[in-house]
Structure formats: structure tokens, C-alpha cells
Amino acid sequence: MSGRLTVIGLGPGNADQVTPEASRAVADASFFYGYKPYLDRLDLRGDQTRIASDNREELARSNEALAKAAEGHNVAVVSGGDPGVFAMAAAVCEAIEAGPTEWRGVDISVVPGVTAMLAVAARIGAPLGHDFCAISLSDNLKPWELIELRLLAAAGAGFVIALYNPISKARPWQLGRAFECLKAILPGTTPVIFGRAAGRPDERIDICLLANAEADMADMATCIIIGSPETRIIRRGEKPALVYTPRSAAGPRK
């Protein structure tokens, strides 16, 4: 008897941004696996069980959840934001591929959510209004030289760049080094947005120019959006400024 595993995206952290599909998936499941701060967002019933684990334990968590589902249970794995963007859906797939054959018989579904860069962008205008990329700045699972290569390729080709996992106690220097790389090839006037806890009570959204961007303006809950040379700031007096990237773009720089 094979069960069901649903990877659920809880959105940026505001109950108002959780889709009805995600809420229903939460109501339907019996066992919940996730990073504790995400599980803490759920209002579970007495007949629902939560199993919290730390971050950086994604694969072990996926293995546990799949083993429980393979016993025939209805299991949920929860992520903040969207579970497909630097989150649990890929970890669950990795576990299925490496795991026992019976795990391939589990019904798997993924419930999408509003990922951090969309929530941050919405609070400031439309910085992702044209071609953009998302890069995890964590070098826990990939070499730093690959991250630099991607930053330079993206900025050089005119993509707006959203940085996930920008900094942590274990990764203190990487964000500063990323800014150095970008300052070498982008105009110092390029807008940079530091978006922390978008949509939550402790939200903080700051705009600065790339020339002034410093690593200590971010923490591990920040999503950073670095504009392209086309990205613009609209000043509006007492109203908050808007940052947007126009839908049109000129040709490649020669």
C-alpha cells in the first residue's frame, strides 16, 4: 500500500498569501515534515503530527517523509515560498531517485506558492519586469567559482538577478564578494533591493545603488534583487519610490 506525499509551498509568510490549494493540502495531510519555522506557521489539528528538523537537513527530512508515505500515510513536506525554488521539491526528488524502488510508487504532488523574489518585487514596483534569473548564493552544494561564473554571465547579458540564501553565519564573505564581482561590470547606479520578510509584520524593504551596496545590509531571511542597466527608480515625493525594469530593451552592447 503506497501513500501520498505533497510538497506544499506556504508562500512568503503571510497567511493572506497562502493559496487555497495549499490550505486544503495542509488540511488533508496527517504527518508534516519541515524546518521548524515553517511548521510553526501551521495551525494543525490534534490528529495531525509534526516532525520538525533543522535547515541543511533537507535530504534526511525527505527520506523520513518518503518512508512514512510508503507505509501508506498522507504526508506533507512544507516549504516557505515556492517548494520548487531552492527548496524541498528538489530534495524529495533526489531522495526518490536514490531511494528504494517502492518510493517510486508513492503519489507525489507539488503545490506551488509565491516565491520570495515575487513577494519582494511586488512591494517595490516591478524590478523583475523583464528577463531575470534566480541564483542561490550558497556554496554548500556547489563551488564558489560556479556562482561567480553565473553572476558574471547573468549581469553581462543584462538579466536582473535575484539572490536567494545571500548570507549566513557559516557563509559570511560570499555576498560581499558577489557585490565586488557585480560592481566590476555593472554601472554603480544600478538599483539594488534588499527585501526582508516581505508581507510579514517585520517586513523591511530597502533600495540602494549598487555602488553603495554592502553585505551587512542583508541577513539569511533577505532576498536581494539587483537590477539590470535598464532598471529605473521613480521618485514620488512623499510616496515610496518605485523600482521597475521596462518591458523593452535595446540591443546588446557592442
Contacts to its own copies from residues 164-223, by CB under 8 A: none
Query: Which residues inside 10-39 make contact with its own copies, applying CB under 8 A?
Result: 11, 14-21, 24
Choose the binding region for its own copies from 40-48, 129-137, 204-212, 214-222 (rule: CB under 8 A).
Answer: 129-137
Candidate residues 118, 193, 215, 226; the one interacting with its own copies per rule CB under 8 A: 118
* Residue 94 CB coordination number (10 Å): 14
Near its own copies in 50-89, by CB under 8 A: 58, 82-87, 89
Nearer to its own copies, 216 or 247 (CB): 247
Phi then psi for residue 107, to 5 deg, are -70, 120
Question: Which residues does 253 contact at the CB level (< 8 Å), separation at least 6?
Answer: none
| Closest to its own copies by CB, 73 or 130 | 130
Q: Pick the closer one to its own copies by CB: 24 or 36.
A: 24
Least distance between its own copies and beta carbon 98 (Å): 10
Residue from the set 1, 141, 201, 202 that interacts with its own copies by CB under 8 A: 141
Q: How far apart are CA 102 and CA 232, in angstroms?
A: 52
37 vs 156, which CB is nearer to its own copies?
A: 156
Query: Where do runs of H (alpha helix) occur along the chain?
Result: 20-28, 36-39, 58-70, 88-98, 116-122, 144-156, 174-185
Q: What is the DSSP letter of 216?
A: G
User: Per rule CB under 8 A, is residue 133 in the interface with its own copies?
Assistant: yes
What are the angstrom distances between the C-alpha of 33 and each of 36, 63, 91, 145, 213?
9, 10, 13, 33, 37
Is residue 94 a contact point for its own copies (CB under 8 A)? Answer: yes
